[in-house]
Amino acid sequence: MFRNTLKKMDTELQDVVQYTLDINGAKHNMNNYIGKQIKIDWSGEVICSCEKKMNKFYRSGFCYKCYWESPLASQSIFKPELCTAHLGIEERDLEWEKNFQLAPHYVYLANSSGIKVGITRGTQGVIRWMDQGASQAILLAEVPNRRFSGDIEISLKRFVADVTNWRKMLSGAPEPVDLVQLKEELSLHVPEKLQQYILPNNTVTEIQYPVTQYPKKIKSVKLERTPIIEGKLLGIKGQYLLLDDDRVFNVRSHEGFISAFSHQEIAQQGVLF
Ligand SMILES: [Zn+2]
């Protein structure tokens, strides 16, 4: 059902992040296409996680019904500090929420467009950082549920951002920051009852992206406005494809778009297929 939709690229941390796009039964190693021509062709339809097909999503990648009823679109998904499953209080579907929220979560600091604080579930840390285009990251705390991670995030938001400035992230690598020192400073502001969850391990993960050229004046392209997007792939960072003419395409924000993907060699070498 979903094999012909765009999904966020799979990432693997190597010397340079390796990106794989899985669509229409093929796994494309996107790093191999840098310097080549790629094409994304949207059918004009999108599909919600409930399998409803439409011409466009109602909001945030959901159909109307899911946006208002699914636990995947509840308020606490966007604001973890509103999570209540640890108290046995239901938001939309207590069983689902218990399963999702009552699991180890991590609070981290990442340097993508400047420093931000974020949270992630289970072992998703590195994947999250690659998806956000972070160049450096460090784990700050490990907590037993999502709510506690939200509480720590809130306490640190006064000092650092909690969102990535994607335009800045796509305009180059950020200045390196001493994350170990920053972690020590910020840890002092974690609420006392949550201090016990601060991690002693200060490993900093450094991440490099396959970018040959950053855009100068970023133009974000979207399939709703341009159903066929094609051009030379100049790099990949976060979940963005960097194309010629300063264009950037956010793969993640097009999840659920029923599309075809193809690639070609450029010029003399001839057409691959
Ligand atoms: Zn739906």
> 86 CA distance to ligand 1 centroid (A)?
27
Q: How far apart are CA 182 and CA 184, in angstroms?
A: 5
Q: What tokens appear for 246 in the block? A: 């300063």
Residue 57 has pLDDT above 80, yes or no: yes
> 211 CA distance to ligand 1 centroid (A)?
35
- What single-letter DSSP state applies at residue 176? P
Cα 50–70–223 angle (5° rounding)? 55
At 78-131, the pLDDT tens digits run 899 999 999 999 999 999 999 999 999 999 999 998 999 999 987 778 999 999
Tokens 């109602």, located at residue = 58
> 57 CA distance to ligand 1 centroid (A)?
9
| CA 126 distance to own-chain centroid | 11
Local structure of 222: helix, strand or coil: coil
> 135 CA distance to ligand 1 centroid (A)?
35
Local structure of 49: helix, strand or coil: coil
At 18-36, the pLDDT tens digits run 999 999 999 999 999 999 9
> 119 CA distance to ligand 1 centroid (A)?
26
Q: How far apart are CA 193 and CA 116, in angstroms?
A: 22
What pTM does this model have? 0.91
Amino acid at 87: L
> 50 CA distance to ligand 1 centroid (A)?
4
Residue 269 has pLDDT above 90, yes or no: no
Q: What tokens appear for 107 in the block? A: 């609070």
| CA 159 distance to own-chain centroid | 22
What length is written for the chain? 273
Would you state the pLDDT for residue 117? 95
> 74 CA distance to ligand 1 centroid (A)?
13
Q: How far apart are CA 191 and CA 234, in angstroms?
A: 44
